Amino acid sequence: MHPIKIIILLILIYLLYRLYMHARKKRVAARKKGRQVQGEISDVLVQDSVCGAYVPRGQALIRHHDGREFFFCSEQCCREFEQREPRPDSSSGSTSTS
């Protein structure tokens, strides 16, 4: 092999190495800054118990009823659920009916 071909080959290998390291450095920096990297899951979707819409769990309104968790996309859906399913502690208040 001619010395010029060897030099060109070494330069190409070096350039490929630099491209790889640059891409790797960007991924590491993105993770350190807390940004979402493509392919990573940021939140789990939960289904609204009233309208059936899917909402990220971190943004959903959560209510507990009979030992279960119920998720809602809005205050309106939450109120509608509470009207249909009375809270267990509401029967001991002054609004109880016999």
Q: For the chain, which residues make up each domain, given as ranges?
A: 1-29, 45-88
DSSP designation for 51: T
How much is the pLDDT for 31?
Answer: 75
Tokens 């010395």 identify what position? 3
pTM: 0.47
What whole-number distance in Å separates Cα of residue 40 and Cα of residue 35? Answer: 10
Tens of pLDDT along the chain (98 residues) come to 788 999 999 999 999 999 999 999 988 887 777 665 566 666 789 999 899 999 998 889 999 888 899 999 999 998 998 888 766 554 433 333 33
Task: Please say whether the structural domain 45-88 has been given the CATH code 2.30.170.
Answer: yes
Cβ pair 21, 35 in contact under 8 A: no
